[in-house]
Amino acid sequence: MGDAALLITAIGSLMWPLIALYALTSLRPYLVRVLRSAETRQLDFEIGGQRITFRELSSQQNELIQDLQRQVSTLRKALETAPHAVPGPPPVTEGEPTRPPEPVPAADREREPFAVLWVDDHPESKALLMEQLRNNGVRVDLVGTTSEAMGTLSRRRYRLIVTDMGRVESGTYQPEAGLELLREVRDVGVDIPVVVFCVPKNFAQASFRARELGAIGVTSSAVELTDYFQRFGLL
């Protein structure tokens, strides 16, 4: 893809985070007043199938705003360093065939169910993302351990699997539980795409090892996770 096409793509990608960020920040003063009032009453409610408090909702909103700000900053820097001139097509060596860009992974929507298997021992922290999927008609099956996930996979098909990297298994915290799930999924021949969600400090190491085991993506960003949902026709 040429520099001009990359620039156009970057501009297009920049718009939605900016719109979302504007909406969140413009509504924030009103939400803060509601949240502060609700905190004193210890109210909670159901989002994405999870019971969460107003304090937890506020925390998730803050994380999303910070995530969007990081994404916008990265795209802005890319735009600033992009060349202004539109270059000609790259030279092709004689006898060397040209190849189109690798396609973005996409599910066969005619065959794969409109469903996600989510493996997480603290799903309340992802309640807003789950609610977004469910509002779009996606079935989200939530399990807390690798063994529960494998049992569910033996009975049902999914378009995508989302797993956290570390979680409690059999009463003990396992920092590589997501990798173990990838191994078991591969060993039984399940071909459903898997995205691993991890904390930022473990991203580099987790990304390399998870991709070696067949993960199609590793991210610590809720915005990037939403992008995977869009690629697979879930949003």
User: pLDDT tens digits for 91-112?
Assistant: 444 443 333 334 445 445 555 7
C-alpha dist (Å) from residue 220 to 7, 98, 165? 25, 35, 10
Q: Where in the chain is the domain with CATH 3.40.50.2300?
A: 115-231
User: pLDDT tens digits for 183-201?
Assistant: 999 999 999 999 999 888 8
Topology (CATH level 3) of domain 115-231: Rossmann fold (3.40.50)
pTM over 0.95: no
Burial of 37 (0-12, 13-18, 19+ CB in 10 A): exposed
Check residue 93 and give its pLDDT.
Answer: 40
Q: Which two tokens stand for residue 29?
A: 């003063």
CA dihedral 198, 201, 203, 205 (to 10 degrees): -120
Strand ranges (DSSP E) for 73-176? 115-119, 139-143, 160-164, 167-169, 172-174
Check residue 104 and give its pLDDT.
Answer: 44
CA distance 96 to 105: 26
Check residue 107 and give its pLDDT.
Answer: 42
pLDDT < 70 stretches in the chain: 1-50, 52-80, 82-111
